[in-house]
Amino acid sequence: MKVLIIRFSSIGDIVLTSPVARCLKLQLNATVHYLTKKSFENIVIHNPFIDKVFLIQKGVEEILEALKKEQYDLVIDLHKNIRSWQTRRALSVTSVAFDKLNIEKWLLVQLKINRLPHTHIVERYLSAVAPFGILPDERGLDYFIPSSDEIDVMQQFQLKKQQYVSFVTGAAHATKRLPEAKIIEICQKITALGMPVVLLGGKEEAEKGERISKRVDSTRCYNTCGQLNLHQSASVVRQSAVVVSHDTGLMHIAAAFQRKIVAIWGSTVPAFGMYPYRTEHTSFEINTLRCRPCSKIGFDQCPKGHFRCMNDLDTDKIVQQVQLYFKTI
């Protein structure tokens, strides 16, 4: 069987599709191809369960003729938007798509009526291929780091493996990120308890990471924001004792490495089914706010202006959970 998996974006969503590729390869001995955006190539190109990767810059028409030549037996749509539907239609072979639950999500966001099933999105992905004999293997997520991007934390930070906390400072949307002052407060409390912290983030977090590290014990807070690529950040996460993260891609990468995760939720909610998969974690969110969730993905600023979903979080409780996880390593 030759299979094409479609998932165009983004980091976390692509990582969450990894069990489907693995199960297809190991249970059906399928030839597995993957279609995604060029900007996410590195997430899938090193996956040994994926035989070939097709990439687009702007549109599927760029590689449609090449896809047709592959003569797939099955197309698995794990994105389910207009672009992926057009791809399935153009290839004219058997195809399946996962249940995106758009109506249920709309009800929760707009009317605060929760009709969402208590299932993780990975389980919905796997349900889409169940008719072909695929069974959940309960192995969690996969993420593969090339050896060239492995970080020696002892050499770079003078830290031992699993003896520090990774703090993921970023997220795609502002309403999914803790205010900078809250991050500083949490990091100050963590380092005061003797636990080193490594700050992680992209180039857009570089200046913020520098400001945070200057406000925290410099002997225990290491800023890498804007200094590491995704694989290198994943390597730091893999070697940490605990990961503190917003609802973002590195949270799911941490889950792939079975790290203990303290997950911080603002405008989005775990009920959407994208909480850390098959790893020990604790979620912190303000459940009493009637305005949550305000979006499926987040906003550039709080629609209500108060940002209580983040501002009202108890930093002492967050730090207590970090300490509890840290002690159990």
Q: Supply the mean pLDDT for the chain.
A: 97
Q: How many CB atoms lie within 10 A of CB 126?
A: 20
141-158 average pLDDT score: 97
Specify the 3-state DSSP secondary structure of 172: coil
**What does the DSSP 8-state code read for residue 65?**
H
The strand ranges marked E within the chain are 2-6, 31-37, 52-56, 74-77, 95-97, 165-168, 197-200, 221-223, 242-246, 260-264, 281-284
Q: Are 288 and 163 in contact (CB under 8 A)?
A: no
Tell me the angle at which helices 206-215 and 180-192 cross, rounded to the nearest 10 degrees: 40
Quick one: pLDDT band at residue 199, thresholds 50, 70, 90? very high
* Residue where the block lists tokens 């967050």: 318
Q: Report CA torsion sign: 105, 126, 261, 44.
A: negative
| In the predicted structure, residue 246 carries a pLDDT above the cut 90 | yes
The arithmetic mean of pLDDT across residues 2-20, rounded, is 98
pLDDT over threshold 90, residue 245: yes
Residue 269, pLDDT score? 98
Decide if pLDDT at 29 tops 90: yes
Whole-number Å distance between alpha carbons of 325 and 10: 29
pTM flag (> 0.85): yes
**Residue-by-residue DSSP string for 187-238:** HHHHHHTT--EEEE--GGGHHHHHHHHHHS-TTTEEE-TTTS-HHHHHHHHH
pLDDT in tens, 262-294: 999 999 999 999 999 999 999 999 999 999 999
The greatest distance separating any two alpha carbons of the chain, rounded to the nearest whole angstrom, comes to 60
**Residue 133 binned pLDDT confidence (cut-offs 50, 70, 90):** very high
Q: State in Å, rounded, how far the first CA of the chain is from the last one.
A: 43
User: Each residue of 160-175: pLDDT tens digit?
Assistant: 999 999 999 999 999 9
Q: Which two tokens stand for residue 273?
A: 């089914």
Q: Per-residue pLDDT for 54 more than 90?
A: yes
Number of Cα atoms under 13 Å in the Cβ half of residue 150: 8
- In DSSP notation, 241-262 reads SEEEEESSHHHHHHHHTT-EEE
Write down the pLDDT at residue 249: 97
What is the model's pLDDT at position 329? 84
Please, what are the domains in the chain?
Answer: 2-132 (3.40.50.2000), 147-327 (3.40.50.2000)
Count of Cβ atoms closer than 10 Å to residue 19 Cβ = 26
Contact 261/276 with Cβ under 8 angstroms?
yes
* pLDDT above 90 coverage of the chain, percent: 98
pLDDT (tens digit per residue) in 213-235: 999 998 999 999 999 999 999 99
Percent of the chain with pLDDT over 70: 100
- The C-alpha atoms of residue 38 and residue 206 are separated, in whole angstroms, by 24
Q: Per-residue pLDDT for 62 more than 90? A: yes
pLDDT score of 50 more than 90 = yes
Give Rg (Cα) of the chain.
20
